[in-house]
Copies of this chain bind each other. A is one copy, B any other.
Amino acid sequence: MSLRAIIDKSLGDRPAAKGRIRQRQEGAILKAAEKVFARAGYQGATLNEIAETAGVPKPTLHYYFSSKEALYRAVLDNILALWLAETDTLTVDADPAAALEHYVRAKMRLSAERPDASRVFANEILHGAGHIGYFLRSELRELVRDRADVIARWVADGRIAPVDGTHLFFTLWAATQTYADFDSQICAVLGKARQTVADHVRATDHVLTVVMRTCGLPWPRTDVPPTLPEARHTCST
């Protein structure tokens, strides 16, 4: 089953691919909603502000999304798909160092490029995950179980140092998402108005160091030529 199919199944399908106008408007509204929900949380966000940000009158919001709740769910839908991605490389047959590096870089990239998505997700979890509890308890739990098994195999085969795979994921998520979720704290401590690309590179290198040393893997990697420079990011807040 495809990822999209899994998500659709869990969240209840919404009618697909409507008209041209509908697609553009829904996109604009979802984008605005993600920004406002990220800044103010579910309760703190107002439909007025979302409408203003999207550049449409408030009733237009209700034309496309029946309620604030429905709009929020739609925003979460898009985010959940992002959250399960990039774990494909974590397989028993993969090279642990390469696979972990790929996953960490993907997570750090997500924090830098989609901080609002990360914040909406964090806010939802922080306040009890009332809207996505089923997702966490089914899709995410199964994914973690599978990947933790891979970690356990690597450990059993002596390919990485002994480590709890499940908790490794908790640490990895926390360490990467903190750069998006707690951006204001990080900027304050760094004494900057916003994180720069250089900060992002340094942070990525640090998290990779933490993960690699935790798994007893050499870092920087010595068996392969250095990876290509990262794609350009938007680190703006």
Which residues does A use to contact B, with CB under 8 Å?
Answer: 39-44, 119, 122-123, 125-129, 133, 136-137, 140-141, 144, 161, 163-164, 166-171, 173-175, 177-179, 181-182, 184-186, 188-191, 202-203, 206-207, 209-210, 213-214, 216
In order of increasing CB-CB distance, the 3 nearest A-B pairs are A43-B44, A136-B188, A174-B178
B-side contacts of A122, CB under 8 Å: 122, 126, 181-182
New A-B pairs, 15, CB < 8 Å, besides A141-B189, A173-B182, A174-B178: A41-B43, A43-B44, A122-B126, A123-B123, A123-B127, A126-B182, A128-B184, A129-B185, A167-B207, A170-B186, A170-B203, A170-B206, A171-B174, A171-B175, A171-B207
B-side contacts of A140, CB under 8 Å: 185, 188-189
Given that A167-B202, A214-B213 are contacting pairs, would A181 and B126 also be in contact in the complex, using a CB cutoff of 8 Å?
Answer: yes
B-side contacts of A170, CB under 8 Å: 175, 178-179, 182, 186, 189, 203, 206
A127 touches B188 (CB 8 A): no
Separation of A62 and B206 alpha carbons in the complex (Å): 47
Pull 29 A–B residue pairs with CB atoms less than 8 Å apart, ordered by A: A39-B128, A40-B43, A41-B127, A43-B43, A44-B127, A119-B126, A122-B122, A122-B126, A122-B182, A123-B123, A123-B127, A125-B182, A125-B185, A126-B126, A126-B181, A129-B184, A129-B188, A136-B188, A137-B191, A140-B185, A141-B188, A163-B206, A170-B175, A170-B178, A170-B203, A174-B177, A174-B182, A210-B210, A214-B214
Separation of A144 and B190 alpha carbons in the complex (Å): 9
